[in-house]
Structure 1
Amino acid sequence: MTTDVEGRQRTNQLASQSVLIVEDELLIAVDLESTTREMGLDVIGLATNKEQALRLAPMADIALVDVNLADGATGPEIGRHLVEEFGVTVVFMTANPEAVAGRMQGALGVVSKPATPWIVRNSLRHALEARSAAGR
């Protein structure tokens, strides 16, 4: 059982984490944003391409990254930049998880699309725990 103080501390910890959503399908991006905000996390932006993702990256702690974007950029390519240059914790999202096998380059995991809000919430919680364990 958590106390009121523990609950407030956890809420404050969540609120202090910022999420970048890299997704070129608007309806999916809006659903991800809604689920993320319901958790108390701050969504810093929705990026639909590599350029936007890298511009927003310095403000992000965690990123949900689609594997294939309409501009031809790939999730693994963007994820590598986010992890190596900005220290962002990356979770890939794709309808074809096998396509990412062996190309995760520092990402925390892969979520199969379509993903339920429950799966997205659990993936974000796992990312938060991994950041915390790493001292970030």
Structure 2
Amino acid sequence: MKVLIVEDENIIALELERIAQEAGHQTIGPVSTVEQALAHAQRSDVALVDLGLADGMSGAQLARRLIDRHRVDVIFVTGSPENVGHGIEGALDVISKPFTDERIAGALSRAEAARRKDFGRSKVALS
């Protein structure tokens, strides 16, 4: 699965990248702005998204675009889960910082399983 990492704190971004790669996923990024994230959306299956981004935009605003326009699943990774607000609608998970490797890998595993299930359903509908 292709995982887009949207995080403006470099050390956290690198940690998310390591966890995703060790779980067997291909990573895209990390990126730190909405513009950068949207530029990579077409190539992504799921995005790990922080709420506060380098360009001052909200990760929740980005999530709406990724989900609605690009069909990218979103997992929030944030130090302020109470601030996710309306952006949580359609998100697969909200993970609080500090996070564990197991929590991130488990959320990615669930996202992959959900994508496979949806893909199987759409194949049947097309036949």
Question: Do they fold alike, i.e. is TM over 0.5?
Answer: yes
How far apart in 1 are the matches of 2:74 and 2:11? 21
Q: Provide the aligned C-alpha RMSD in A.
A: 1.2
Give the corresponding residue for 1:61: 45
CA deviations on 1:80-126 (whole Å, 9 max, x unpaired) are 11111111010011111111144313211100011111111011111
Give the corresponding residue for 1:28: 12
Alignment check: 8 A CA contact 1:76 1:105 kept: no
CA deviations on 1:63-89 (whole Å, 9 max, x unpaired) are 000011131111110011111111101
Alignment check: 8 A CA contact 2:64 2:87 kept: no
Alignment check: 8 A CA contact 2:79 2:96 kept: yes
Match of 2:105 among 121, 124, 128: 121
- Structure 1, unpaired ranges of 5+: 1-16
TM-score for both structures, normalised by structure 1: 0.83
Identity of aligned residues (%): 43
TM-score for both structures, normalised by structure 2: 0.89
How far apart in 2 are the matches of 1:109 and 1:34? 19
- Structure 2, unpaired ranges of 5+: 121-127
Which amino acid is 2:37 matched to?
A
Aligned residues: 120
Give the corresponding residue for 1:108: 92
